[in-house]
Chain A
Amino acid sequence: MATDFWASSHYKRWIVDRATLRQARAEDLQYVEDPEYFDLLNIFFANVISKLGKKLQLRQRVVATATMFFKRFYLKNSYCETDPFIVIAACCYVAAKAEESPVHIKNVVTEARLLFGGKFSSHYGIKTFPSDNSKLAEMEFYLVDDLECDLVVFHPYRSLMTLCGKPGNSAVLEAEAGELGVGIQDGSQSWGTGEGRLELQEGALQTAWFIINDTFRSDLCLLYPPHLIAITAIYLTLVIHSSTRDSIGLHSSDSSSGSNRRSPRSSHSHSKKPTQDIVGFMAGLNVSMEIIASIAQEIICQYTLWERYKEEKGEASARGSFATELQSSMSSGLKRTASGQLRAASVARSRDGTPVDSTQRIVGRTRQPAVVTPAFLAQLLIRMREAKMADMAHPATGRPMALDKRLERAQNA
């Protein structure tokens, strides 16, 4: 059924394991010095999609769907063999249709050209974006094929609203989430009854919402079912709101943020007995705490990684003050509190030898890595593609570029 997650194309064909993720980047790996660039590119691409989405006035769910399409596309393709910018535009174009809020192809072309290569967005510097509608339509055609025509995507937003939304409380968020509770109602037999609906206050709900937004900047949405991501977001929210509510100043955003217009109430009176709530709520859900803990761990690492990623000046303000503020308080707040609490839960996982993968690599990093900007990453993508094309054009002559990179990496290590 289209609304039963366990019978969906999303669950059946598009939840992948880490080996698949690694395989997907194998070709690209030959053309980058630092594999961590892939994590940074994840942030970069999600930001670009979200910016284009804003220009096209797409709802959050549509942006999330577009992001998912993009990620699925690159499970089968390499950055170095494609132009991610036209793929991004096509993802937004198809996602809008798939979510029944279509935008005109001409709009997409115009906005994409402005954003990627326009005078005022020098930091992408993409001058090759075609002005011809049919080029985008052509990309759409190939994209839909690579997506295997699986265009219905499930998102954590609706799980979040089903689990925590107070009826009538968050009209805007509810509308954004759309199709509430899908994957929860129908999947209840597998993971709890959903009867323990947790009433999060507006501010906390929004925190969870933003955490979910941020998970689209990692590969989590390819690795885990959306409701587990939603539950982790709720879990992290409760953790932050119970122990760092006062210190990280989350509620200061209430007055400043435009995205918070619906609630005149301040969020001072968040969950009164948060500790109890967490325990009871989580127990009622009947999901594996180990999985939740490892997802949480990855989210925290993602925020740490984020410190390496800097949007250029000017651009930073455009991100919206709330999001920025939240991110910084999250990364510091979480490091202080959440990760401490989560440590215990994740011990079990590391003890039996399960690789915690990139997460540990990043957390355990001692040398201070260089800050990376969108302009740098946009350049990186072009260099990767040029190197790949050069290798293909002259396969017999000289030493392939790919080999150079591998040597370089070996020497650096």
Chain B
Amino acid sequence: MLEDCANSMPLSQDPMRYYRAKRDNARPRVGDKYSILGFISSGTYGRVYKAQSKAADAKIHAIKKFKPDKEGDVVTYTGISQSAIREIALNREISHENVVALKEVILEDKSIYMVFEYAEHDFLQVIHHHSQTLRVSISQHVLKSLTYQLLNGLLYLHDAHIIHRDLKPANILITSGGVVKIGDLGLARLTYQPLQPLFAGDKVVVTIWYRAPELLLGAKHYNKSIDIWAVGCVIAELASLRPIFKGEEAKLDSKKNVPFQRDQMLKIAEVLGTADERDWPGLKDMPEYQNLKRLDHYNNRLHEWSTPRVKTQSGYEFLKQTFAYDPDKRLTAREALKHKWFTEDPVPSANAFQFLPTHQIPPHRRITQDDAPSMMPLPTANSHAQAAAQVQAQAQAQLSQLSQSHSAKGSVASFGSNGGGGGGHTRKKSRLG
């Protein structure tokens, strides 16, 4: 077969044909190694599927397929996106209990498949489960356990000089064993003295509600502390079941300039009070400083906000320190982990769901069948085993759908094929560059 290829090949036209044939023959195929159980979600860069390994362990995985490039209707190679390169490169280097583990990457038929360990839940889903179904707030033990583990994973990333740059509830996953797994490194970057300044690559980072004030004010330089701000927003959202700073995103103008995010800045000021040079000496150097000055003045009412939601004084102080306007005064992940809040009862545990009665544990991730078969490459052989697996998969999927018919609508929104899923447009960041 390979010889045939050598035979028929005009060398002068495509010297790499033999090489490719050889590689294509040797490469394991996604369909040979995994059976697709269903479709989970589509994000900015691709679609995520639930899959079961065909190996003896039969483990469940999440497979992220990057959107294939199309020219018209024909799938073609246009170059791997910067985001995919990042996510792949960083994931290959890291390994930590609280960061989603990449099992393997399969490149096949012009598509890239990243195979991750499977996480049954995520923060967004836990929030929805509590707000829509249980109608109670998240217990202090769960809140602290989730926060502690999140910070633990973040400390690992930060020590490795990786800024996540897109922390938000949908990207922070939880296994069925109650272990937090930070996911989606598609915007993450190595930051230690980079060749290019951070802002040069991506004009907009972090979904607007979780975006730190220095980013909103147009800072050209920023650091790890933007992740800490996002963590603060995430904790506040866990504690109150709704985003703490739910601003309207001002859209990019026709020249793709980033406008002043007035509404988001206002939403922050309403809780934290107006930013002030006395607390943040660098404030006046921010490009949007003049715009900021034009906003109405607000007083800080974080204490008022916190009391019913995080209960204790140390909980309030913890939030206050993650929400320091001045990035240099914000807690670091290391400091945060040592905070008094975590030493007071209830102390966090490695299984966040440890003390939860079964009915309070959020439901399994919803999957659908709609797109799954067509989006995945066909299995190479039509063996009996595969047909059986397919049937089984469908049955499982139906079962799990049944068991979740009560779960909140909208937590995993539209499964449309245009990649527009997620929870409303504002939860999506726009990615440029």
Q: A residues touching B (Cβ–Cβ < 8 Å)? A: 1-4, 7-9, 59, 61-62, 77, 81-83, 86, 93-94, 97-102, 105, 127-128, 130, 133-142, 144-146, 148-152, 174-180, 182, 385-386, 389, 392-393, 395
A149: which of B76, B78, B89, B192 is its contact (CB, 8 Å)?
A: B89
Inter-subunit contact B6/A393 (CB<8 Å): yes
B192: which of A83, A151, A180, A385 is its contact (CB, 8 Å)?
A: A180
Stretch at the interface among B10-18, B248-256, B359-367: B10-18
Inter-subunit contact B16/A180 (CB<8 Å): no
Q: In the bound complex, what is the Cα–Cα distance between A115 and B158 (angstroms)?
A: 41
Q: A81 with B22: in contact, given A3-B192, A8-B93, A59-B195 (CB under 8 Å)? A: yes
Q: A174 with B15: in contact, given A3-B160, A97-B85, A149-B88 (CB under 8 Å)? A: no
Inter-subunit contact B78/A9 (CB<8 Å): no
Is B281 close to A, CB under 8 A? no
Shortest CB–CB separation between residue B88 and chain A, in angstroms? 5
**Chain A residues whose C-beta falls within 8 Å of the C-beta of B189 in the assembled complex:** 100
**Chain A residues whose C-beta falls within 8 Å of the C-beta of B159 in the assembled complex:** 1, 3
Inter-subunit contact A2/B78 (CB<8 Å): no
- For the complex, count residues of B whose C-beta is within 8 A of A: 48
Closest 6 CB pairs of A and B: A137-B77, A1-B160, A83-B15, A151-B89, A392-B6, A2-B93
Inter-subunit contact B15/A128 (CB<8 Å): yes
Q: A179 with B22: in contact, given A2-B160, A133-B79, A134-B77 (CB under 8 Å)? A: no
B250-285 at interface with A (beta carbon < 8 Å) = none
Is B334 close to A, CB under 8 A? no
Is B134 close to A, CB under 8 A? no
- Across the two chains, which residue of chain B brings its CB closest to A158? B193
Q: In the bound complex, what is the Cα–Cα distance between A8 and B9 (angstroms)?
A: 40
A137: which of B78, B88, B107, B161 is its contact (CB, 8 Å)?
A: B78
17 contacting pairs across A/B (C-beta < 8 A): A2-B162, A59-B195, A81-B19, A81-B22, A82-B19, A86-B15, A100-B189, A105-B79, A127-B12, A133-B79, A134-B77, A138-B77, A141-B107, A142-B107, A144-B88, A178-B195, A392-B18
**Chain A residues whose C-beta falls within 8 Å of the C-beta of B16 in the assembled complex:** 82-83, 86, 139, 142
**Chain B residues whose C-beta falls within 8 Å of the C-beta of A395 in the assembled complex:** 3
B17-35 at interface with A (beta carbon < 8 Å) = 18-20, 22-23, 27
Inter-subunit contact B88/A82 (CB<8 Å): no
| Most chain A beta carbons < 10 A, residue from B9, B89, B162 | B89
| Most chain A beta carbons < 10 A, residue from B82, B105, B110, B190 | B190
Q: In the bound complex, what is the Cα–Cα distance between A41 and B105 (angstroms)?
A: 32
**Chain B residues whose C-beta falls within 8 Å of the C-beta of A130 in the assembled complex:** 14
**Chain A residues whose C-beta falls within 8 Å of the C-beta of B286 in the assembled complex:** none
Inter-subunit contact B19/A179 (CB<8 Å): no
Q: In the bound complex, what is the Cα–Cα distance between A1 and B93 (angstroms)?
A: 6
Shortest CB–CB separation between residue A196 and chain B, in angstroms? 22
- Across the two chains, which residue of chain A brings its CB closest to B69? A137
B54-113 at interface with A (beta carbon < 8 Å) = 76-80, 82, 85-86, 88-90, 92-95, 105, 107, 110
Is B308 close to A, CB under 8 A? no
Shortest CB–CB separation between residue B72 and chain A, in angstroms? 13
Is B357 close to A, CB under 8 A? no
Inter-subunit contact B107/A105 (CB<8 Å): no
**Chain B residues whose C-beta falls within 8 Å of the C-beta of A139 in the assembled complex:** 16
Inter-subunit contact B94/A2 (CB<8 Å): yes
Q: In the bound complex, what is the Cα–Cα distance between A62 and B194 (angstroms)?
A: 11
Inter-subunit contact A150/B192 (CB<8 Å): no
**Chain A residues whose C-beta falls within 8 Å of the C-beta of B380 in the assembled complex:** none
Is B383 close to A, CB under 8 A? no
Shortest CB–CB separation between residue B186 and chain A, in angstroms? 13
Shortest CB–CB separation between residue A63 and chain B, in angstroms? 12
Is B374 close to A, CB under 8 A? no
**Chain A residues whose C-beta falls within 8 Å of the C-beta of B373 in the assembled complex:** none
**Chain A residues whose C-beta falls within 8 Å of the C-beta of B192 in the assembled complex:** 3, 178-180, 182
Shortest CB–CB separation between residue B66 and chain A, in angstroms? 11
**Chain B residues whose C-beta falls within 8 Å of the C-beta of A148 in the assembled complex:** 92
Inter-subunit contact A141/B80 (CB<8 Å): yes
**Chain B residues whose C-beta falls within 8 Å of the C-beta of A4 in the assembled complex:** 160
Q: In the bound complex, what is the Cα–Cα distance between A101 and B200 (angstroms)?
A: 9
Shortest CB–CB separation between residue A19 and chain B, in angstroms? 22
Is B196 close to A, CB under 8 A? yes
Inter-subunit contact A179/B13 (CB<8 Å): no
Q: In the bound complex, what is the Cα–Cα distance between A93 and B160 (angstroms)?
A: 25
Q: In the bound complex, what is the Cα–Cα distance between A179 and B20 (angstroms)?
A: 35
Is B201 close to A, CB under 8 A? yes
Inter-subunit contact B110/A179 (CB<8 Å): no
Inter-subunit contact A141/B6 (CB<8 Å): no
Inter-subunit contact A93/B93 (CB<8 Å): no
Q: In the bound complex, what is the Cα–Cα distance between A149 and B14 (angstroms)?
A: 25
Inter-subunit contact A392/B3 (CB<8 Å): yes
| Most chain A beta carbons < 10 A, residue from B6, B76, B156 | B6
B79: which of A7, A93, A127 is its contact (CB, 8 Å)?
A: A93
Is B7 close to A, CB under 8 A? yes
- Starting from the known contacts A1-B93, A133-B78, 7 additional A-B residue pairs (CB-CB under 8 Å) come to A100-B196, A128-B13, A141-B107, A142-B20, A176-B195, A178-B193, A182-B161
B93: which of A9, A81, A99, A179 is its contact (CB, 8 Å)?
A: A9
Inter-subunit contact B92/A150 (CB<8 Å): yes
Inter-subunit contact B19/A152 (CB<8 Å): no
**Chain A residues whose C-beta falls within 8 Å of the C-beta of B105 in the assembled complex:** 149
Shortest CB–CB separation between residue B278 and chain A, in angstroms? 31
| Most chain A beta carbons < 10 A, residue from B107, B162, B189, B195 | B195
Q: In the bound complex, what is the Cα–Cα distance between A82 and B201 (angstroms)?
A: 33
Shortest CB–CB separation between residue A376 and chain B, in angstroms? 19
A100: which of B18, B160, B195 is its contact (CB, 8 Å)?
A: B195
**Chain A residues whose C-beta falls within 8 Å of the C-beta of B6 in the assembled complex:** 389, 392-393
Q: In the bound complex, what is the Cα–Cα distance between A133 and B71 (angstroms)?
A: 12
Q: In the bound complex, what is the Cα–Cα distance between A105 and B6 (angstroms)?
A: 29
Inter-subunit contact A151/B78 (CB<8 Å): no
Q: In the bound complex, what is the Cα–Cα distance between A128 and B14 (angstroms)?
A: 8
**Chain A residues whose C-beta falls within 8 Å of the C-beta of B161 in the assembled complex:** 2-3, 179, 182
B9: which of A142, A174, A389 is its contact (CB, 8 Å)?
A: A389
Q: In the bound complex, what is the Cα–Cα distance between A174 and B20 (angstroms)?
A: 40
**Chain B residues whose C-beta falls within 8 Å of the C-beta of A2 in the assembled complex:** 90, 93-94, 160-162, 190
- Across the two chains, which residue of chain A brings its CB closest to B95? A7
Q: In the bound complex, what is the Cα–Cα distance between A100 and B86 (angstroms)?
A: 8
**Chain B residues whose C-beta falls within 8 Å of the C-beta of A83 in the assembled complex:** 15-16
**Chain B residues whose C-beta falls within 8 Å of the C-beta of A7 in the assembled complex:** 93, 95
- Across the two chains, which residue of chain B brings its CB closest to A84? B15
**Chain A residues whose C-beta falls within 8 Å of the C-beta of B95 in the assembled complex:** 7
**Chain B residues whose C-beta falls within 8 Å of the C-beta of A150 in the assembled complex:** 89, 92
Q: A152 with B194: in contact, given A4-B160, A386-B11 (CB under 8 Å)? A: no
Q: A9 with B92: in contact, given A97-B85, A133-B79, A138-B77 (CB under 8 Å)? A: yes
| Most chain A beta carbons < 10 A, residue from B105, B193, B201 | B193
B107: which of A77, A100, A144, A178 is its contact (CB, 8 Å)?
A: A144
**Chain B residues whose C-beta falls within 8 Å of the C-beta of A8 in the assembled complex:** 93
